[in-house]
Structure 1
Amino acid sequence: MTGPLAGLRVVAVTGLAGLHCAQALADFGAQVALVEPPGGHPMRASAAFPFLARGMRSIVLEPGDTAGLRRLVAAADVLVESWTPAQAEERGLTPERTTVDHPRLVHASITGFGRTGPYAHLPADDALVMAVIGGSHTLSPMAPREGPAFAAVPFASYSAGQTALQGVLAALLERERSGHGQHVGTSLVQGLAGHDIWNWFLTLLTTRYAGAFTPAPHVQDGVPNSALIYRLLVALSADGRWLQFSQTSRHLYVALMNALGMGWMFDDPEWGEELPLVPDPAKRVELWDRMLTEVRARTAAEWAAVFDAQPDVWAEPFRTGQELLDHPQLRHDGNVVRVEDPERGPVEQPGPLVRMAATPADPTRPAPRPDADAAELRGWEPVDAPAATAAGPSLPLAGVTVLELGMYYAAPYGGSLLADLGARVVKVEPPGGEPMRSLASFPEIGAIKVTQGKECIALDARSPEGRQIVHDLAREADVVIQSFRAGVAERLGVDGPSLLAVNPDLVYLNAPGYGVDGPCGHRPAYAPTIAAASGIAWRMAGATLPERTDLTVEETKGAAVRLVAATNASFAQCDGLSALSVASSALLGLLARARGAGGQQLYTSMLAFAAHLNCEDVVRYADRPATPAVDPELFGLSARYRLYPTAAGWVFLSAARPEQRSALRAHPAFAAEEDIGAVLAAKPAAQWEAEFADSEVDCVAVTEATVEATLMSEEFGRTAGLLADVEHPMLGEHPRLAPLVTLSRSAVVPGPGSLVGQHTEQVLQRLGYPAEHLADLRARGIVVTG
């Protein structure tokens, strides 16, 4: 094995979430033992298996062979599992046991809802989590009917895989110092919770000041309530191709209006320069109608010519997953790999999570055949335990300094996650502040989550003095995260080569929307843009759309609203999954450096992360299994795995596995099993959940509240340990989302958000800037102090 993680041994006894975690370790050189039951891992039936298991080794163990499993664990550096607490107890591998028996082991547990509480017995299943925390309810605008909607894309599993990966990498970094391992805990709920950008704080406002603020959907009774409906326009071309525009910033929206021939409206008193924020509801509808009509005047090819001529105007077509493999940017960046699989032939699939310039991954080794490596894996020798002296608690990223350059959500929230793990994170903003501070409907709300736990400084990086400050910060940093569009970092003099010249030991992570160069590197990328480009949105809601090209404006708007829900749900969108992946990528670079790789540039993008999330629909090879298809009404995937209305409320029923089907038939009401829906309609949702609580059948009532309201509630969020109370300089004391991963020995540090320039003065003083120099910089507008 080669790669920066060569020599590490990983045992993976896990489902989809843990496979995402283990795959990243395997790509970078770790020896990953995939433990499979007789008959093979359940994911072998998925088209994504050759991607998820590439580079791993396989051993088949009988379900009762706990001794064989424990022998593997005794020889491992990392254990990744997704057991319920009862299953861990059955195997004799509870966190309490492994931390004593194997002091060097990093033991990562990925549960559905945590290790305690009323849902701890449920498996780590996306649909169950979505139903319980309000995700299915919140997605209801995606369905062409009343009621909750099924999410076909496994946002929770992918995201929990990333939070687990962060915990594993942070614990391994800490082990480099202490010699001791520890338990890492996360859940699908925590993975999903990391996605939201500002709805948490809007929920906080509307709850705290109930008489002053009223929450409203993007579109209500056919009237847009949000400027994002226009700035992130979903429209249909003349030849029937759905397009997702990407015009969030003011200058980008003006460019789109000019391209539509509607720029005159900014100077017209009837409309006003504040477009698209028109007070009159009838005018808001008219503006929407006009924009859709003008987009419909051109074919997709004609719009592509507009994009080539006007770089500030951009839209992605809504692709299917396999179409993503032909995206010119993904190809340009080398993020499509071809693996020769002995069973399947050539398999095209997404490349590694991140590209490392000096210590690249090896994604070319195929997935193993069942039990192909049993002899080798049974020969693993147990790891010598460290001395009996106890390792004291410490922050896993103690002593790590992160310099954050870039704006909007994905890369900045990745920095916040590193701050939660104990890193010192310095966020550099322009004098006017991170644009997200003014993007939401209430000042500062949009940026609180991306400033949590950070030192926020504001400066003009275009000036020589501002650039020098960034270079001074880079000199003492360990990691730089930048997310500018292609060419911006170079123009500012803060690109990788420039800062590595200042500090050769830097881990410099490029994490833009598309890439640092190439055909789309200069394009604006937002969460809906990437959801459309990657096939995620089409997999979520494409089944609901009319298969006609002659839609009326009203039909177009109805379909567009469903696509908006599919691209921009607060808890299921590409900014969130990218932020989680940015933190994982930075930690991979740090661990590689700790193991001798030195400083280097790293490259990734939101588009690459989206390919990993949607892998089941993205991989391409001959005779591949079909991606499970949701029905046009968005109930679910089959009669035994779907949403059902009941006498009061809705349930999600999961009874697709053989043992679950048997358990369902054993219930008196389902013995005939003629019409599952008719049976479930006879009793309330809460009663069905109670009746199946001790059964193999998983059945949960759908929570009819937003995800943020559910997580923030005392009944769910506080009980589950998902809340941490902090003091924000504007909001005062409030609950924030607790760190998304916990460690048994190391502490995590949930910090508050910060205001523009709040820490400029203290950061410059720490760099040695005299008071008179700081005053001069402030007077000339080069820095802003809070």
Structure 2
Amino acid sequence: MSEPKPLSGYKVVDFSAVYAGPICARFLLDCGAEVVKIEPPGIGDLTRGADGMTPAFAHFNAGKRSIALDLKSAEGQQIARELIRGADIVIQNFRPGIMSKFKLDYESVKAEQPELVYCSISGFGLSGPWVDRAAFAPIVHAASGFDTVFGAGQANSENRPPNWEIMVADILTGAYAFGVIQTALLGRERFGRGEHLDVSMMDAMMTLIPAHLQAAQMAEPLPIGRFHPVQTSDGFVMVTPISNKNFSSLCQLLQRPELLQDPRFVFGPRSRHFKELAAEIEKWSGSLSTNEVENALNEAGVPCSAYTKLDDLFSHPQVVERQSFSPINDDHLGEFLIQCIPVKFQHMNNRTASWAATLGQHSDDVLQTELGMPAEKIAELREQRIIA
């Protein structure tokens, strides 16, 4: 018999959509919590796509029970309040003010559930002049200064800011929310009170650029190093000889002892001259394969890695050994892999659920098991299109 997971017995009502809130709720589920996902009838969470299920939706929502509920209706709002009353945690990422219109905001529900941990995720937080702004990850990347830092030194023939498709703000914010929710649960255990967590994507993104934020405040600009990939005969390798020991090992491998005395590459200035150092390394690496370069550097104790193609990631020996992915099955999409919560526990299996719910798949089950609602009432709600 498997051991209970750390969050077994905790109940989560997840009103969130897209990425940030859903990944937070899924991590809680992976750690044992029960999650009910509330979605609008019709299209549901936007990541479902036009066909009702996508690999992205499955990744962010595996194992959650889905109820399709019209929160714009008074009866739908009442059902949501009853679900909250039996929950330990609420997660929502509507634009600030929307949950207040539904009377489902923290101030409206805390009287009936004073020990509730209520997590509000938004682009810019619940205060300040930007509180009402709509935001998706690319907006926050631009507003937080992250894109400015990321784009510095990047080649761009049109002189445009960088534009990329990795939703860093969503995943990072969801991970922070996952952590602070458990901090609030610990506070509840110690002090007997709930908490309202105001999690801002912009605040989260600024934690990625601390050196640049500090440098921007100095009278004289502080130089910040940028690592450069080293070219091989058939690709590139990232090399980071940061410490003196790393650098000494590199020079020994290259048979270039004079580099140890080069004023550009002594400790301190070295971080500002990685581009020049990469050029010196390429005098050696340019005639060797990526595999040869990576193996030689690794054996010498110099931190390095080749660039892994996504197609190769699933068979990467480190990924396979750590069982970083878990299979999921869908009637239409077939079997594919989603990443497990990126933590190994000694006493907990970190594998995630092998299924993702269709829209409203558990509407009847949730209303019956959580609220004790009779089948006749459920049928009436479906007829009125309050549930689906």
**Given the two structures, how large is their TM-score scaled by the length of structure 1?**
0.44
The answer for unaligned runs of 5 or more in structure 2 is 263-279
> In the alignment, which of 201, 208, 219 is matched to residue 606 of structure 1?
201
Counting only pairs closer than 5 Å after superposition, residues 586-597 of structure 1 correspond to structure 2 as: 586-597=181-192
> In the alignment, which of 733, 736, 740 is matched to residue 342 of structure 2?
740
Instruction: Give CA deviations for 1:484-521 in whole Å, capped at 9, x if unaligned.
Output: 11110100111001121221110111111112343222
Paired with 1:692 and 1:753, the residues of 2 have a C-alpha distance of 43
Q: Is the 8 A contact 2:329 2:336 kept in 1?
A: yes
Q: Is the 8 A contact 2:144 2:205 kept in 1?
A: yes
Give the letter for the 2:362 counterpart.
H
Counting only pairs closer than 5 Å after superposition, residues 327-366 of structure 1 correspond to structure 2 as: none
Counting only pairs closer than 5 Å after superposition, residues 295-694 of structure 1 correspond to structure 2 as: 393-432=3-42, 433-438=44-49, 443-544=53-154, 555-556=157-158, 559-560=159-160, 563-565=162-164, 568-569=165-166, 573-619=168-214, 621-622=217-218, 626=222, 628-630=224-226, 636=227, 642-667=228-253, 669-673=255-259, 675-694=280-299
Residue 701 of structure 1: CA displacement? 2.3
Q: Is the 8 A contact 2:11 2:89 kept in 1?
A: yes
Instruction: Give CA deviations for 1:62-117 in whole Å, capped at 9, x if unaligned.
Output: xxxxxxxxxxxxxxxxxxxxxxxxxxxxxxxxxxxxxxxxxxxxxxxxxxxxxxxx
Counting only pairs closer than 5 Å after superposition, residues 153-302 of structure 1 correspond to structure 2 as: none
Q: Is the 8 A contact 2:326 2:351 kept in 1?
A: no
Paired with 1:473 and 1:467, the residues of 2 have a C-alpha distance of 10
* Identical-residue share of aligned pairs (%): 29
Assess, with a 3 A threshold, how the Cα gap between structure 1 residues 664 and 712 changes in structure 2: closer, same or farther.
Answer: closer
The 3-state SS of whatever aligns with 1:511 is strand
The 3-state SS of whatever aligns with 1:660 is helix
Residue 732 of structure 1: CA displacement? 3.5
Aligned pairs, how many? 364
Residue 702 (str. 1) matches residue 307 (str. 2): yes
Which position in structure 2 is the counterpart of 1:783?
387
Assess, with a 3 A threshold, how the Cα gap between structure 1 residues 654 and 629 changes in structure 2: closer, same or farther.
Answer: closer
Residue 762 (str. 1) matches residue 348 (str. 2): no
The 3-state SS of whatever aligns with 1:667 is helix
Q: Is the 8 A contact 2:230 2:239 kept in 1?
A: yes
Q: Is the 8 A contact 1:663 1:696 kept in 2?
A: yes
Q: Is the 8 A contact 1:723 1:735 kept in 2?
A: yes
Which position in structure 2 is the counterpart of 1:212?
none
Residue 712 of structure 1: CA displacement? 2.6
Counting only pairs closer than 5 Å after superposition, residues 55-94 of structure 1 correspond to structure 2 as: none
Q: Is the 8 A contact 2:254 2:281 kept in 1?
A: no
Q: Is the 8 A contact 2:238 2:304 kept in 1?
A: yes
Give the letter for the 2:380 counterpart.
D
Residue 443 of structure 1: CA displacement? 4.8
Instruction: Give CA deviations for 1:712-747 in whole Å, capped at 9, x if unaligned.
Output: 336553333112123334333332212221211133
Which position in structure 2 is the counterpart of 1:730?
332
Which position in structure 2 is the counterpart of 1:717?
319
Assess, with a 3 A threshold, how the Cα gap between structure 1 residues 408 and 545 changes in structure 2: closer, same or farther.
Answer: same
Residue 462 of structure 1: CA displacement? 1.0
Give the letter for the 1:606 counterpart.
M
Instruction: Give CA deviations for 1:690-710 in whole Å, capped at 9, x if unaligned.
Output: 22223232233223x13xx34
Greater CA drift, 737-746 or 673-682: 673-682
Assess, with a 3 A threshold, how the Cα gap between structure 1 residues 743 and 536 changes in structure 2: closer, same or farther.
Answer: same
Assess, with a 3 A threshold, how the Cα gap between structure 1 residues 710 and 618 changes in structure 2: closer, same or farther.
Answer: farther
Assess, with a 3 A threshold, how the Cα gap between structure 1 residues 701 and 514 changes in structure 2: closer, same or farther.
Answer: same
Assess, with a 3 A threshold, how the Cα gap between structure 1 residues 599 and 668 changes in structure 2: closer, same or farther.
Answer: closer
Q: Is the 8 A contact 2:66 2:359 kept in 1?
A: yes
Give the letter for the 2:184 counterpart.
G
Paired with 2:80 and 2:245, the residues of 1 have a C-alpha distance of 59
Q: Is the 8 A contact 1:486 1:517 kept in 2?
A: no
Instruction: Give CA deviations for 1:106-145 in whole Å, capped at 9, x if unaligned.
Output: xxxxxxxxxxxxxxxxxxxxxxxxxxxxxxxxxxxxxxxx
Counting only pairs closer than 5 Å after superposition, residues 108-187 of structure 1 correspond to structure 2 as: none
Residue 679 of structure 1: CA displacement? 1.6
Give the letter for the 2:172 counterpart.
L
Give the letter for the 2:148 counterpart.
W
Residue 542 of structure 1: CA displacement? 2.7
Residue 444 of structure 1: CA displacement? 2.8
Q: Is the 8 A contact 2:236 2:290 kept in 1?
A: yes
The 3-state SS of whatever aligns with 2:37 is strand
Paired with 2:256 and 2:319, the residues of 1 have a C-alpha distance of 34
Give the letter for the 2:249 counterpart.
A
The 3-state SS of whatever aligns with 2:293 is helix
Give the letter for the 2:178 counterpart.
A
Paired with 2:331 and 2:192, the residues of 1 have a C-alpha distance of 40
Give the letter for the 1:596 counterpart.
F
Residue 764 of structure 1: CA displacement? 0.3
Q: Is the 8 A contact 2:115 2:192 kept in 1?
A: no
Paired with 2:52 and 2:374, the residues of 1 have a C-alpha distance of 36
The 3-state SS of whatever aligns with 1:457 is strand
Q: Is the 8 A contact 1:409 1:575 kept in 2?
A: yes
Residue 442 of structure 1: CA displacement? 8.8
Assess, with a 3 A threshold, how the Cα gap between structure 1 residues 701 and 622 changes in structure 2: closer, same or farther.
Answer: closer
Instruction: Give CA deviations for 1:513-556 in whole Å, capped at 9, x if unaligned.
Output: 1123432222111111111111111111132367xxxxxxxx54
Residue 608 of structure 1: CA displacement? 1.1
Assess, with a 3 A threshold, how the Cα gap between structure 1 residues 672 and 714 changes in structure 2: closer, same or farther.
Answer: closer
Paired with 1:454 and 1:437, the residues of 2 have a C-alpha distance of 14
Residue 629 of structure 1: CA displacement? 4.4
**Given the two structures, how large is their TM-score scaled by the length of structure 2?**
0.87
Instruction: Give CA deviations for 1:399-458 in whole Å, capped at 9, x if unaligned.
Output: 11111112221111111111111100111111120112127x995344222211211111
Which position in structure 2 is the counterpart of 1:215?
none
Residue 656 of structure 1: CA displacement? 2.7
Q: Is the 8 A contact 2:232 2:289 kept in 1?
A: yes
Paired with 1:660 and 1:715, the residues of 2 have a C-alpha distance of 25
Paired with 1:590 and 1:666, the residues of 2 have a C-alpha distance of 52
Assess, with a 3 A threshold, how the Cα gap between structure 1 residues 534 and 443 changes in structure 2: closer, same or farther.
Answer: same
The 3-state SS of whatever aligns with 1:412 is helix
Which position in structure 1 is the counterpart of 2:277?
none
RMSD over aligned Cα atoms:
2.3
Paired with 1:615 and 1:438, the residues of 2 have a C-alpha distance of 36
Give the letter for the 1:684 counterpart.
S
Paired with 2:101 and 2:139, the residues of 1 have a C-alpha distance of 25
